[in-house]
Amino acid sequence: MQRSLNIDPGKCTGCRQCEMACSYENEGVFNPSKSRIKVFTFDAEARFVPYTCTQCAEAWCMQACPVDAIKVNLATGAKEVHADLCVGCKVCTIACPFGTINYNASSGKVMKCDLCEGDPACAKACPTQAITFVDSNWTGLDKMRAWAAKTDTGARAN
């Protein structure tokens, strides 16, 4: 069974523990600017929205990579950046229409959510279950997928 991150903004309190956990898990530092998940604040509506890669089927980043440095982890379904192959050209950062793969100037490479090899630190750190790691077949994910599909460049055969 493959699992996906499910984000319920209504439950997010804006504590940003997910950002801290992500940054520490992946970069070894507590630095929200190094996090692959970001919490956006909408002051007027008093809302918080955690946001990260949906591991979309279109895989814009992967298709755009000129050196095959982004690959699907067959166990988790995540599109992962292989740092040893990434040259830091940044084409994926303009190709991803969701803005969820970004350049990390300190490593000279790009970074994105890789689902922490199937045990995402953000979901574990979230105290309110705004971020959960659920069965990919759960219907609540459809809305996110529908949005992703809207951006496709050509209908798919299957």
Residue range at the interface with another protein (CB under 8 A); choices 16-24, 85-93, 120-128, 130-138? 85-93
List the x/- string, 104-143, binding to another protein by CB under 8 A: -x--x-----------------------------------
* Cα 129 to Cα 133: distance, rounded to the nearest angstrom: 9
Q: Looking at 90, 118, 124, 134, which residue binds another protein (CB under 8 A)? A: 90
Rank residues 1 and 66 by Cβ distance to another protein and give the closer one.
66
Output the DSSP codes for 53-82.
Answer: ----TT-HHHHH-TT--EEE-TTT--EEE-
Q: Looking at 83, 89, 134, 141, which residue binds another protein (CB under 8 A)? A: 89
Residue range at the interface with another protein (CB under 8 A); choices 36-44, 72-80, 114-122, 123-131? 36-44
The single-letter code of the amino acid at 90 is K
Q: Does 157 bind another protein (CB under 8 A)?
A: yes
**104: which strand partners?**
109
**50: which strand partners?**
39
Two tokens, residue 41: 């604040």
Decide if 136 contacts 46 (C-beta within 8 A).
no
Instruction: Tell me the site size for another protein, rule CB under 8 A.
Output: 42
